[in-house]
């Protein structure tokens, strides 16, 4: 099985030792799981037609069995790539609030390529968008969890921090410094792990928040996990997570979740093996209460139950079946009905 894996270089070219976000980690998991994965770095700022031609030619040249696309931009999944004779498996990782993404997913299906999402919660969100726009529900071929646990179960660490968060230095979605803002008048020891950004809006966000103590930048993934394990709780600052890789990483180290929520919902609740492993909150006072709530939680229980639920072999089996189904689907005749990107 040979996989062509286009990689969006908006945060830099593919580097297995530098994981800057959930989609990037997902790509790394594909590389680690399957024997023959060939990466092509794609700059989304280049013309769409140039990028789609580059991806199709690359997949053809390496005799790929499938193209796995993890970004919704037209360079990776838009109509100009869908004439590929090699099947495309699009994995939608986010909540993209532009109506054109509904047409994009329809077009992928019309050409007998495949659409996967990472959770039923995410799928329900898109169907709600379709309802608001008075159009048909979104059809998906299945769901693939964003991550898994693998290898040796880590030892539980001594606690150094009351609450930790991990997130890209992004003022719109991730907002990692929300942890610092909400705990600024408390005695809790908090920690933010984030990246040094390059985009203008992210640099402005960093400038406004560079005064905080307890912030670590650009750690490699191993160091991030070692540090996360020393926290009493993990705060997921983004209410619109489609799954929550860092949430799973926290649980796998025995760290309970505090989930910033809108309408008392959050996709990461589905990751938890028990309702007692998370707390939904929506403001500063509830965050403080949640940290205190988890003061005497059974961390070993959280870790053991999480490892039981999210075994790597199950994830690999689901993913392998999705690839096989995508290849078989593409052999069927396509429907030549297209919508605007």
Answer yes or no: do 136 and 167 share one domain.
Answer: no
Answer yes or no: do 78 and 166 share one domain.
Answer: no
Q: Average pLDDT of 173-201?
A: 96
- Pick from 69, 31, 28, 64: which is nearest to 51 by CA? 69
Could you list the residue range(s) of the whole structural domain that residue 263 is in? 161-309
Q: Is the pLDDT of residue 238 over 70?
A: yes
Answer yes or no: do 201 and 326 share one domain.
Answer: no
Q: Is residue 155 part of a domain?
A: no
Answer yes or no: do 13 and 137 share one domain.
Answer: yes
Token code pair at residue 6:
């286009």
Q: Is the pLDDT of residue 63 over 70?
A: yes
Q: Average pLDDT of 271-290?
A: 97
| Reduced DSSP (H G I as helix, E B as strand, rest coil) percent helix, strand, coil of the chain, to 5 | 40, 20, 40
β-bridge mates for residue 112, sequence order: none
Strands 66-69 and 36-42: unpaired
pLDDT, tens digit, for every residue of 98-130?
A: 889 999 999 999 999 999 999 998 999 999 999
Residues 6 or more apart from 126 whose CB is under 8 A from it?
Answer: 95, 101, 102, 105, 117, 138
Q: Average pLDDT of 209-218?
A: 97
CATH of the domain at 223: 3.40.50.2000
Confidence of residue 341 (pLDDT cuts 50, 70, 90): low
- Pick from 271, 231, 266: which is nearest to 247 by CA? 271
Mean pLDDT score of the chain: 94
pLDDT at position 17, please? Answer: 77
pLDDT at position 332, please? Answer: 85
Q: What is the DSSP string of 166-225?
A: E--S-TTTT-TTHHHHHTTTS---EEEEE----SHHHHHHHHHHTT-SSEEES--HHHHH
Answer yes or no: do 28 and 56 share one domain.
Answer: yes
Token code pair at residue 39:
């990466």
Residues comprising the chain, all counted: 341
pTM: 0.83
Question: How many structural domains comprise the chain?
Answer: 2
Residue recorded with tokens 């919902």: 265
Answer yes or no: do 184 and 290 share one domain.
Answer: yes
Q: Is the pLDDT of residue 20 over 90?
A: no
pLDDT at position 11, please? Answer: 83
Q: Is the pLDDT of residue 230 over 70?
A: yes
Q: Is residue 335 part of a domain?
A: no
> How far apart, in whole angstroms, are the C-alpha atoms of residue 258 and residue 281?
7
pLDDT at position 18, please? Answer: 79
Q: Is residue 141 part of a domain?
A: yes
HSE of 181 in the Cβ direction (CA atoms, 13 Å)?
11
Answer yes or no: do 131 and 210 share one domain.
Answer: no
Q: Average pLDDT of 144-156?
A: 94
Q: Is the pLDDT of residue 211 over 90?
A: yes
Answer yes or no: do 207 and 185 share one domain.
Answer: yes
pLDDT, tens digit, for every residue of 75-85?
A: 999 999 999 99
pLDDT, tens digit, for every residue of 299-318?
A: 999 999 999 999 999 999 99
Q: Is residue 153 part of a domain?
A: no
Answer yes or no: do 216 and 124 share one domain.
Answer: no
Residues 6 or more apart from 67 whose CB is under 8 A from it?
Answer: 3, 4, 5, 6, 55, 59, 84, 86, 87, 88, 89
């Amino acid at each position: 099985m040979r996989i062509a894996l286009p990689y969006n270089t908006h945060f830099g070219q593919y580097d297995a030792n530098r994981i800057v976000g959930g989609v990037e980690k997902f790509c790394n998991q594909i590389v680690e799981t399957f024997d023959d994965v060939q990466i092509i770095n794609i700059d989304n700022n280049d013309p769409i037609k140039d990028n789609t031609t580059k991806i199709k030619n690359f997949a053809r040249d390496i005799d790929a069995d499938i193209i796995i696309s993890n970004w919704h931009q037209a360079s990776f999944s838009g109509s100009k790539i869908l004439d590929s004779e090699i099947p495309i498996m699009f994995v939608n990782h986010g909540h993209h609030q532009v109506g054109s993404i509904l047409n994009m997913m329809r077009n992928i299906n019309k050409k007998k390529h495949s659409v996967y999402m990472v959770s039923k919660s995410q799928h329900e969100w898109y169907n709600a968008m379709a309802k608001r726009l008075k159009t048909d529900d979104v059809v998906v071929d299945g769901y693939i969890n964003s991550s898994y646990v693998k290898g040796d179960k880590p030892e539980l660490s001594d606690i150094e921090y009351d609450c930790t968060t991990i997130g890209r230095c992004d003022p719109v979605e991730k907002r990692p410094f929300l942890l610092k803002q909400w705990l600024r008048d408390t005695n809790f020891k908090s920690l933010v792990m984030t990246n040094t950004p390059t985009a203008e809006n992210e640099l402005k966000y960093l400038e406004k928040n560079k005064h905080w103590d307890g912030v670590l930048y650009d750690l490699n993934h191993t160091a991030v996990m070692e540090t996360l394990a020393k926290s009493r709780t993990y705060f997921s600052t983004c209410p619109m997570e489609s799954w929550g890789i860092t949430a799973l990483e926290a649980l796998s180290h025995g760290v309970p979740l505090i989930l910033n929520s809108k309408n008392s919902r959050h996709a990461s609740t589905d990751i938890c093996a028990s309702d007692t492993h998370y707390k939904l909150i929506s403001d500063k006072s509830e965050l403080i209460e949640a940290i205190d709530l988890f003061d005497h939680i059974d961390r070993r229980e959280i870790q053991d139950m999480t490892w039981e639920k999210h075994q790597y072999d199950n994830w690999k089996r689901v993913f392998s079946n999705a690839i096989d189904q995508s290849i078989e689907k593409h052999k069927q005749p396509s429907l030549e009905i297209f919508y605007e990107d």
